[in-house]
Amino acid sequence: MQQPAVPELAHTTTRPVHWLATAAAVAAVVAASGVLQPDSATAAQADSKPVTAHAATVAPPDPAAVHFPLNCGPVKVLVQKKASGDLDGDGRPETVAVVRCDAGSGTPPNGVYVLTQPAGAKPRIVATLVDPKDGFTVTGLAVADKAVTANLDGYSSPDVPRYQPDVHDKAKWQWKNGSFVRSTPSEARSV
């Protein structure tokens, strides 16, 4: 009979005590990894601006907290549309609100207002983009790329029925040199 080339070693035979020792070692490694954590990752793209926690947590101004300069008599002011974004580049969002009197019938003209809210203060109006006295109805509103765009419907004369506006305009406002400057968006073309 031939002898095995390698003699049988004691550690090659598994016994329950071996399994208990292995389980205890794995449990110790898992517990240690739960206590010892690496630092948070701080990678950023070379050309990106760091986002501060302050900018990420600032809520846009709430139009419900503002008194709009509309004389609506016995009816309330209605905020029909709103959009928010940082329009002046200060890191705080502004809100653009489209408001009108909440008349039961008809189509009262809209006002378009820009709201801001300094830290620790109430929201306030900083600009009127469309005055209700101009007689326009706003049918579309967007805030993107630090600009406000709106679709405006109006009337060429008092003889035009109020349910059928015959003036259609697109407007764009951008903050330049301390005020909002109006222009016509490049995609607005007359036919």
Q: What does the pLDDT look like over 16-75, one tens digit per residue?
A: 665 666 666 666 655 555 555 544 433 333 344 444 444 457 899 999 999 999 999 999
> Is 47 among the domain residues?
no
- Per the CB < 8 A criterion, the answer to whether 97 and 81 are in contact is yes
Q: Residue 62: name the closest of 34, 104, 93 by CA.
A: 93
* Percentage of residues of the chain with pLDDT beyond 90: 57
Q: Is residue 156 part of a domain?
A: yes
Q: What is the pLDDT of residue 134?
A: 93
Predicted model pTM:
0.68
List all residues 6 or more positions away from 6 whose beta carbon is below 8 Å from its beta carbon. none
Distance (Å, rounded) from C-alpha 38 to C-alpha 159? 74
Instruction: Let me know if residue 38 belongs to a domain.
Output: no
Give the Å distances, CA to CA, from 143 to 75, 95, 115. 29, 9, 13
Domain with 108, as residue range(s), is 61-183
Contacting residues for 60 by C-beta, under 8 A, at least 6 apart: 84, 93, 94, 95, 117
CB 85 within 8 A of CB 97: no
Q: pLDDT at position 189, please?
A: 47
Determine, yes or no, domain membership for 100. Answer: yes
In 118-166, the DSSP E strands lie at 124-130, 137-144, 147-154
Q: For residue 25, is it within any domain? A: no
Q: What average pLDDT does range 124-142 have in this prediction? A: 95
Helix or strand holding residue 98 (H, E): strand 94-101
Residue 147 sits at φ, ψ, to 5 deg, of: -140, 155
Assigned domain for 114 exists: yes
191 part of a folded domain: no
Q: What is the CA radius of gyration of the chain?
A: 33
Distance CA 21, CA 103 (A): 80
Neighbouring CB atoms inside 10 A of 170's CB total 16
Average pLDDT, the chain: 80
13 lies in some domain? no
The tally of domains found in the chain comes to 1
Give the per-residue pLDDT at 117: 94
Q: Are 123 and 62 in contact (CB under 8 A)?
A: yes
Q: Tell me, what's the pLDDT at 184? A: 85
For the segment 96-109, the average pLDDT, to the nearest whole number, is 90
